[in-house]
Amino acid sequence: MFKSDVYIRRREYLHNKMKSGLALFIGNVEAPMNYPDNTYHFRQDSDFLYFFGLDLPGLAGVMDFDSGKDRIFGDDFDMDDIIWMGPQPTVRDLALKCGIADTLPTSKLEGIVKDAIDKKRKVHFLPPYRGETKMTLGSLLKENPCQMKTLASADLIKAVISMRSIKERVEIEEIEKALEIAYEMHVTAMKMCKPGVREQEIFGAIEGIALAKGGGTSFPIILSINGQTLHNHEHGNILKKGKMMVTDAGAETNLHYSSDITRTTPVGGKFSTLQKDIYEIVLKANTEAINATRPNISNRDLHFMACRIIASGMKELGLMKGDTDEAVAAGAHALFMPHGLGHMMGLDVHDMEALGENYIGYNNEVKRSDQFGLAFLRFALPYKPGHVFTVEPGIYFIPELINLWKSEGKFKQFINYARIADYMSLGGIRIEDNVMITEKGHKLLGKPIPKTVKEIEIVCS
Ligand code: GLY
Ligand code: MN
């Protein structure tokens, strides 16, 4: 974890923002895989990590915005635990690491919450996403656990988002470390991308790098020669010449900061003319969107810019037609790029998504569109210095979607359906990088990972 003053400063800031009531931060508990003692890899809750830094199951943090006091709740291990787990720190030892001297056993939390409710004080909490946390909150608040998301505190959500959105120097350093691991994962995947290799072998090799160098992957690896499926988690195919492999993978550091990178590699390491034609369009959308990233321009503006580059590139190849601006405004390009340009990244790979995407990326003035494609844009607001974003345009040939639109004659004034057949075998191409917004512009985070046609062909050779 970071030094205690990082957490002390963050909590002080939140106290100043919130002013009154009590905030409960329920840390994650172990989640059983197939029987209680055989658990999934433990992942601490990101908001708990942000304010308390303690990376162990079974803890809760309480901030009292009226008294200004913070407390950690948890239970010390007993001898039976120690025999199996080895010597363990006490809850007090742990709490001191994040600058808190006041600890109580978990059983005392119920009384503290009851007392606050009896006194009609506001009890703030963030929307829970795990069943165990919903049950804990429901039992503490004497409310239906299924209602916990709707009862969460909008004031606390907004305050936490305003803090976590702007990354501190120590956080950027962590994200850069996560990108060093991603560099190794992606270059390894490119080198292994040869005919006859099973996707699973590459998947295992790069997952191993994430585990060997950091805290594992930041999300389940997407690696497939069927990149037209945006989040393809099947890794059973054997690589064949003529296909392209999409690798969308990132690592977490030991402190759980993420990276999220996508590269697309031709199997065998040499681009065909057809692959190169489409790849260069995606690359242009990626690089030009990155180059234009700066404060006050919005992620939605850059999304449209990338979509226009894609639509005009597809028009040059004869796959689209008509006026590019009109086609993009109507949403015709979404046949090929049905997702948003990017998302925030930090302690979560989709940073703070558990708090509610519309709180993060939209507000009273900027509302989410319901147009197909644009509706998936996770963030539409202007960038601010300290934001960290992914930039991840793509072009996909999704047979089911193409067949549906074609059968409906949808956007036939903008889409040349007859030309698409030649490109169907291409699957999908996505290129993703991570940038930080600075006072004057942006900084590409991490050592640049090969992405031009020439750079990829060199790595693969
Ligand atoms: N890297 C996966 C995603 O951004 O959804
Ligand atoms: Mn991403």
- The position carrying tokens 């030649």 is 422
The structural domains of the chain, with segments of one domain joined by +, span 4-164, 169-460
Closest ligand 1 atom to 250 CA: 1
Block residue for tokens 């996909």: 396
C-alpha of residue 408 to centroid of ligand 2, in Å: 31
Taking only the tens place, the pLDDT of each residue in 409-460 is 999 999 999 999 999 999 999 999 999 999 999 999 999 999 999 999 999 9
Average pLDDT value over all residues in the chain: 97
pLDDT for res 19? 86
Ligand having the closest approach to the CA of 376: 1
Strand partners, 38: 35
Please give the average per-residue pLDDT across 47-54, as a whole number. Answer: 98
248 touches ligand 1 (CB under 6 Å): yes
Mean pLDDT of 40-62: 98
Q: How far is the CA of 343 from the centre of ligand 2 (A)?
A: 6
Name the CATH architecture for the domain at 4-164.
3-Layer(aba) Sandwich (3.40)
Q: Which of 299, 269, 282 is nearest to 432 (CA)?
A: 282
260 ligand 1 Cβ < 6 A: yes
How many whole angstroms from 85 Cα to the centroid of ligand 1?
Answer: 35
Spacing, Cα 180 to ligand 1 middle (Å):
18
- For 227-257, the pLDDT digits (tens) are 999 999 999 999 999 999 999 999 999 999 9
Q: What is the CA radius of gyration of the chain?
A: 24
Extended strands (E) in 196-323: 222-224, 244-249, 261-266
CA distance 123 to 116: 7
Task: Give the pLDDT confidence score for residue 288 in this predicted structure.
Answer: 98
Using most ligand atoms within 8 A of CB, pick from 376, 392, 396 the residue to mutate for ligand 1: 392
Look at residue 303 in the predicted model and tell me its pLDDT: 98
User: 354: closest CA among 129, 163, 131?
Assistant: 129
Q: Which ligand ends up closest to the CA of 433?
A: 2
The answer, yes or no, to whether any atom of ligand 1 lies below 6 A from the CB of 433, is: no
| Rounded distance from Cα 261 to ligand 1 centre (Å) | 8
Residue-level pLDDT at 179 = 98
What is the rounded average pLDDT of the residues 117-124? 97
Model pLDDT for residues 292-341, shown as the tens digit of each residue? 999 999 999 999 999 999 999 999 999 999 999 999 999 999 999 999 99
169-460 belongs to CATH 2.60.40.1730 = no
Structure-block tokens of residue 252:
């977490």
Please tell me the residue having the least CA distance from ligand 1 atom 2: 248
| Pocket perturbation via mutation, ligand 1, pick of 224, 337, 348, 350 by most ligand atoms within 8 A of CB | 350
Cα of 260 from ligand 1 centre, angstroms: 7
Per-residue b/e over 129-145, b at no fewer than 16 CB within 10 Å? eeebbbebbbebbeeeb
Q: How far apart are CA 412 and CA 394, in angstroms?
A: 21
Report pLDDT for 22.
Answer: 98
Write the CB contacts of 183 (distance below 8 Å, at least 6 apart in sequence). Answer: 446, 447, 449
Q: Is-contact 163 23, C-beta < 8 A?
A: no
Whether 124 has a pLDDT exceeding 90, the answer reads: yes
Q: Are 59 and 97 in contact (CB under 8 A)?
A: no
| Residue range 145-194, pLDDT digits in tens | 999 999 999 999 999 999 999 999 999 999 999 999 999 999 999 999 99
Count the Cβ atoms, other than its own, within 10 Å of residue 288.
17
pLDDT (tens digit, 9 = 90+) per residue, 339-377?
999 999 999 999 999 999 999 999 999 999 999 999 999
* DSSP bridge partners of 320: 415
Q: 36 Cβ partners below 8 Å, 6+ apart?
A: none
Residue carrying the six token digits 């978990």: 106
For residue 248, the ligand 1 atom closest to its alpha carbon is 1
Atom in ligand 1 nearest the alpha carbon of residue 262: 1
pLDDT beyond 90 at 461: yes
3-state secondary structure of 446: coil
Per CATH, 4-164 and 169-460 having the same topology is answered no
- What is the distance in A from the centroid of ligand 2 to the CA of 447? 18
